[in-house]
Chains A and B, each alone.
Chain A
């Protein structure tokens, strides 16, 4: 229905690191007494390295850029979902998401945001209107003003998309990042274009 995304870098690599960490901790607790000094040192060294790696990865993924897997059909011409026998996160397109600190958003960007109805899900949609814009609602003739601090998002595939037409304008505080590139299906590596909707948004 809607195209939700999952944070590969944090989830997969995070869980991988977590498993490593648990393994090392268990090894530390159970075998440490029976080990000679060298092996214990090696364990401790690896533990430190893995913790540092986790922290470095998390910081990069929170502050600079991260990798997501997009599943679902709501952004269909832009992102696709294949039906191969891949693991779950390889079925969809894998995209590069850029984080930002200040408002670098502009009309037509593909953005990721936390779902306003379920904070554990993250959606990817196209940004249609920014605060202060006047916009004609699709499928009706009303003209609404986007309230302060909110934005209007819609999927590219209008027929199957759960977006602002359903839950209204979303607060900009929910926006997490901007999709810049598609990186996984090798033949589809490309930049994600910015497509602004001109005919029914009146910018101020």
Chain B
């Protein structure tokens, strides 16, 4: 396609689209003639001397756009939008703080799964409610199910039942699968009791539980909460 063909194509395109554009823009009368002339002019001139004319047209359009945009932007209520955004953000922060404080100091929810607490807590997982006040006050009792940080892996949290408190003597089956050998606690060789500030925890399912029988008494400070209520059981079967 040569240059002449291109020009004719362009002018035909302008003519066909002109009526639609004018209709859309609501242009008629004198302004319509000017508009048409401008379109013809811009198309023919841009075809004849593309570089300079195109740049000038673009510059004019950009300037018009910018002035238009400036007048529009100045009408947007930035101040109220900003204060609104600040309000929303502070509300989110407050909510996050509230959730954190309630979860850390009063009551929280934990998802427990695994075979070690089997009759009490399902293999596939239970959601339990955990309260943090009893461990904080130091009044955990024998028989409570507690959530504690595993002494072997600080990133893991496990649920076990408290079997002995400090000063108690605990007797347990060393290896319930292979025999009836029992042992009495024991943390250190020279004392026969659970040491000060420690608790003895065991899973309810003594056949597959990794607990104090393997890693000894755990410090009280690792206890994160006392499970007091099963919220719901997750059943996959």
**Measuring CB to CB, which residues of chain A are less than 8 angstroms from any residue of chain B?**
52, 54-56, 58-59, 62-63, 102-103, 113-120, 147-150, 170-175
Chain A contacts of B220 at CB under 8 A? 118-119
Let me know if A171 and B100 touch, CB within 8 A: no
Number of A-B contacts defined by CB within 8 Å:
77
Q: How large is the interface on B (under 10, 10 to 19, 20 to 34, 35 or more residues)?
A: 20 to 34
**How far in angstroms is the closest Cβ of chain A from B139?**
12
Are A59 and B96 interface neighbours, CB within 8 A? yes
Alpha-carbon distance between A163 and B113 when the two chains are bound, in angstroms: 35
Some 26 contacts from A to B, beta carbons below 8 A apart, are A52-B94, A55-B98, A56-B94, A58-B100, A58-B101, A102-B155, A116-B219, A117-B196, A117-B197, A117-B198, A118-B196, A118-B220, A119-B197, A119-B219, A147-B152, A148-B153, A149-B150, A149-B153, A150-B151, A170-B219, A171-B222, A172-B154, A173-B148, A173-B150, A173-B154, A175-B154
A56–B96 alpha-carbon span in the complex (Å): 9
Interface SS majority for chain A:
mixed
Tell me whether B195 is interfacial, beta carbon within 8 Å. yes
Interface pairs A-B: 10 shortest CB-CB: A173-B149, A114-B221, A117-B197, A172-B154, A116-B219, A171-B151, A119-B221, A119-B220, A55-B97, A149-B152
Measured between alpha carbons, how far is A103 from B155 in the docked complex, in Å?
9
- B218 CB–A CB distance under 8 Å: yes
Query: Given the complex of chains A and B, what is the CA–CA distance between A55 and B100 in angstroms?
Result: 8
Q: A117-B196, A120-B138 are in contact. Are A173 and B151 (CB under 8 A)?
A: yes
**Nearest neighbor of A150 in chain B, beta-carbon distance:** B151
Name the B residues within 8 Å of A114 (CB-CB): 219, 221
Point out the residue from B101, B154, B196, B222 that lies within 8 Å of A59, measured CB to CB: B101
Point out the residues of chain A lying under 8 angstroms from B152, CB to CB.
147-149
| Beta-carbon contacts under 8 Å, B132-152 to A | 138, 148-152
In angstroms, Cα B213 to Cα A81, docked, is: 42
